[in-house]
Each structure stands twice: as structure tokens, then as C-alpha cells.
A and B are shown apart, each in its own frame.
Chain A
Amino acid sequence: KQEVTQIPAALSVPEGENLVLNCSFTDSAIYNLQWFRQDPGKGLTSLLLIQSSQREQTSGRLNASLDKSSGRSTLYIAASQPGDSATYLCAVRHVGPNDYKLSFGAGTTVTVRA
């Protein structure tokens, strides 16, 4: 069974500092990994999708890396802003008969202090 872990569960940084969020998964047989942002009481907003054949994806200040063999992904957010405060979740779609499923981590809640 695929287990997805996000550490730390919460993170507080001063504005301007770079953010590093970690995601690990136990089964490396995945099709892709997706990073989401969730604001309190809201749905999930897709940030980046990394296919299993890719090493990284970039969008503006966001960069996500994927090391499939070690079961790790890292989301980097450069020059953090108070508006980056949210919960960030990662999810993997794994190879196999259950490939319709996304397995989610519990998320990292980020607070950026002005």
C-alpha cells in the first residue's frame, strides 16, 4: 500500500526566506506526482504536476523536484511572501490496478510572517 508522508507538518518562516517542503512515498512505481495548495476552508489548487520521467518542474517562484528511485519530492518556493501562507499537499498516482487513485500526504501548513 502506498504511504505518502510530508514532513514537517507545520512551518513558519519570515517573509523573503526560501521554503523547502518535503514529500516521501513508499512505492516508487508511480506515474506522476502532483503538488497542491489549499487555503483554509477551500478546495485544492494544482501547483505542479511532475511525470515519472521528469526530474523537475518549474512555475514562477515554484520548483518541484522528483527522485523516484528514492521516493522523494521537494517543493521549493523562492522568496516567500505572506500570500504563500497555506497548506501544501502532495499526491502520487501509482502504477498498478489502482492507478485511478491519488494517494495524498497529510500536508505541510506554512505560515509566512510579514
Chain B
Amino acid sequence: DGGITQSPKYLFRKEGQNVTLSCEQNLNHDAMYWYRQDPGQGLRLIYYSQIVNDFQKGDIAEGYSVSREKKESFPLTVTSAQKNPTAFYLCASSLFLGGSRSTEAFFGQGTRLTVV
């Protein structure tokens, strides 16, 4: 069954702690993305990756880091430098990054991160 798997579903972070959100896809997609969703707002792009070992900052990358060591995996680390990390985090992937042949983006089920 092809898709995107995010884990954990819920995550709690203490002040000053780094936490890592997992994202795995078996769709053989090249591009992967991390978005943040806050109540009443549209999704905002944190990081994206076109290919293995390459990634670029999105609109709100401060306080976050990523890696892309495998095509299937794109983990997101929320560092202690992120001052307001409580949000819903969504991972996405697409087959073709851009241009007139761009394809659908598919999303995982999300991880809700709460600071305690």
C-alpha cells in the first residue's frame, strides 16, 4: 500500500529539548516537503528536498533542521532554537518537482507537537 507515513502521531517536547519527526514514503517520489499548520492559517513551508543529500530552506526554516540520506526518508528535527514549536506538522511528497509536468502532492497524516 503506497503512501507517506509520519510518526509519532503525537509528540511532547520539554523546553530546551530537540525532537525529531519521522517521514517515510514508498511512492518513489523525488521531492519531499515539510509544512507547518497553525489554527486558522494556511500551511507554511519549512524545508523541501528535491533529491537525496540536497535540501533547501522554505519560508520558516529557523529553528528546524532536516536530512535526506535516503530517497524514502526526510526526518525533521525541531531544535530548542524554535521558540514556538507547538503546531501540526505535515510531510508531503511529489513525483516531479516543478515545471509544467508537475504532479500531485501527497501528504502524510501529520504529527501534533506540543511543548510542555
Contacts and interface: CB of A to CB of B under 8 A. Distances in A.
Given A32-B102, A46-B105, A93-B98, A107 B31 contact: no
A71 interface: no
Given A41-B112, A104-B43, A106-B40, A99 B106 contact: no
Interface residues of A, number: 26
Contacts of B45: 101-102
By CB atoms of chain B within 10 A, which of A42, A99, A100 has the most?
A100
A99 B31 CA distance: 12
A105 B41 CA distance: 8
A85 B33 CA distance: 27
A42 B109 contact: yes
B2 interface: no
A90 to B, nearest CB: 9
Given A100-B50, A106-B42, A44 B104 contact: no
Contacts of B100: 31, 51-52
Interface string A75-114: 0000000000000010101000001111111110000000
By CB atoms of chain A within 10 A, which of B40, B45, B98, B107 has the most?
B98
Interface of B: 4, 6, 31, 33, 40-43, 45, 48, 50, 56, 58, 88, 90, 92, 97-100, 102-110, 112
A5 to B, nearest CB: 10
Given A4-B42, A43-B6, A107-B42, A100 B110 contact: no
A11 interface: no
A36 B98 contact: no
Nearest to B108: A43
In order of increasing CB-CB distance, the 7 nearest A-B pairs are A99-B98, A104-B42, A44-B107, A43-B109, A104-B43, A43-B107, A43-B110
